[in-house]
C-alpha cells in the first residue's frame, strides 16, 4: 500500500527528515511515534500528498504520490487531523456530507446515492441526537466524532491520522480509537497514525515506527518498540514497562525525576 524510500525534508538549512524508509502493507494499523519536533507531522503531510516530495520517493499503490490529483487521491485516501472541521455555522449533517465531495459531479450532485451510507455512519458513531446541531455547539469529543464521520463518508481504503486524540480526555481518547479500530477491521482499512500517547499506540497499532531527530530509530511490533532503554534514548526519560493485564500489550509507567 505504501512504500517510502530515502525520504528527506529540509526547511531552510535545517534537516527535518533524513533518509526515511519503510513500508506499510494493506490492512495494517501502523503507528508513528516520537518526541515533539521529531518530524512526525511533516512526514504525514508528505505521505498524504499535502506537501510535495522533492527528496526521496513516496509510492501509494505503486505510484508516486505526486502523480495523483487531489480529487483522485481523496476518493481512497482520507486524513483526520487534530482539528479539521470547517468554520462555525454548519450542522453536523452538513459536515458529514462534505466527505462526499470527491464523488460529486461537476453539477454538484453525488454520483452515488449516499443517503444510506450517511445514515449508517450517524448511527455507528451515535450522532443521531446531534445531526441538526451546529458544530460550535459541540464538545471536543463530539467534534472529533463528527470529523471521523466526515472521513468515513469518503469511504477511503487508506486513512491517515495526525494525533486525533491530543485534545481529548481519556474517555474520549479510548472511544475515538475504538471507533477507528472497529472501522479498520470491518473495512480492511489501512491506517497510518501519528500518535502522541505511547500507551494508546501500543494498544491499537500492529506495528510502530519511532522517529528521533528526523531519522528512523526503530520499527517493529509494540513489544519490540516499547523497551525502556529505547524510550529513554529517544525521550530522555526511562519508564517502567509492564504488560497490560487484559490485552497483554506493553504499557509504560513514568518515573519522577531524581
Q: Which domains does the chain possess? A: 1-69+194-258 (3.40.50.300)
Pairing mode of beta strands 63-64, 57-60: antiparallel
**Per-residue model confidence (pLDDT) at position 207:** 97
What span, in angstroms and rounded, lies between the C-alpha atoms of 63 and 68?
A: 8
For residue 2, list its beta bridge partners: 24, 60
**Per-residue model confidence (pLDDT) at position 255:** 86
- Work out the mean pLDDT of the chain and round it to a whole number: 89
User: What nine digits make up the cell of 181?
Assistant: 479500530
pLDDT band of residue 32 (cuts 50, 70, 90) is very high
Cα four-point dihedral sign 24, 204, 149, 166: negative
Over pLDDT 70: what percentage of the chain? 93
**Per-residue model confidence (pLDDT) at position 57:** 94
What span, in angstroms and rounded, lies between the C-alpha atoms of 32 and 46?
A: 14
| In the predicted structure, residue 105 carries a pLDDT above the cut 80 | no
Average pLDDT over every residue of 229-252: 94
What span, in angstroms and rounded, lies between the C-alpha atoms of 51 and 33?
A: 20
What span, in angstroms and rounded, lies between the C-alpha atoms of 8 and 179?
A: 33
H or E segment and range at residue 182 = helix 170-187
**Per-residue model confidence (pLDDT) at position 69:** 87
pLDDT band of residue 171 (cuts 50, 70, 90) is confident
Total-model pTM: 0.89
Q: Phi/psi class of residue 28: alpha, beta or left (left: φ > 0; alpha: ψ in -120 to 50)?
A: beta
Amino acid at each position: 500500500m505504501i512504500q517510502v524510500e530515502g525520504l528527506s525534508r529540509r526547511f531552510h538549512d535545517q534537516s527535518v527528515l533524513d533518509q526515511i524508509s519503510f513500508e506499510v502493507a494493506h490492512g495494517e494499523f501502523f503507528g508513528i511515534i516520537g518526541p515533539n519536533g521529531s518530524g512526525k507531522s511533516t512526514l504525514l503531510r508528505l505521505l498524504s500528498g499535502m506537501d510535495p516530495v522533492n527528496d526521496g520517493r513516496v509510492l501509494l499503490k505503486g505510484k508516486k504520490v505526486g502523480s495523483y490529483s487531489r480529487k483522485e487521491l481523496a476518493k481512497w485516501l482520507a486524513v483526520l487531523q487534530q482539528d479539521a472541521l470547517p468554520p462555525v455555522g454548519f450542522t453536523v449533517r452538513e459536515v458529514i456530507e462534505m466527505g462526499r465531495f470527491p464523488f460529486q459531479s461537476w453539477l454538484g450532485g453525488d454520483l452515488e446515492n449516499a443517503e444510506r451510507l450517511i445514515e449508517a455512519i450517524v448511527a455507528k458513531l451515535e450522532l443521531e441526537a446531534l445531526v441538526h446541531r451546529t458544530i460550535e455547539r459541540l464538545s471536543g469529543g463530539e467534534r472529533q466524532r463528527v470529523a471521523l464521520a466526515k472521513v468515513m463518508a469518503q469511504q477511503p481504503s487508506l486513512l491517515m491520522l495526525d494525533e486525533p486524540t491530543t485534545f481529548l480526555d481519556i474517555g474520549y481518547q479510548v472511544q475515538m480509537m475504538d471507533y477507528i479500530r472497529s472501522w479498520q477491521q470491518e473495512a480492511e482499512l489501512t491506517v497510518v497514525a501519528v500518535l502522541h500517547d505511547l500507551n494508546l499506540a501500543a494498544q491499537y497499532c500492529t506495528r510502530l515506527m519511532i522517529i528521533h531527530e528526523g531519522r528512523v530509530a526503530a520499527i517493529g511490533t509494540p513489544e519490540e518498540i516499547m523497551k525502556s532503554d529505547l524510550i529513554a534514548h529517544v525521550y530522555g526519560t526511562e519508564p517502567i514497562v509492564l504488560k497490560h493485564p487484559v490485552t497483554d500489550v506493553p504499557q509504560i509507567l513514568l518515573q519522577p525525576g531524581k
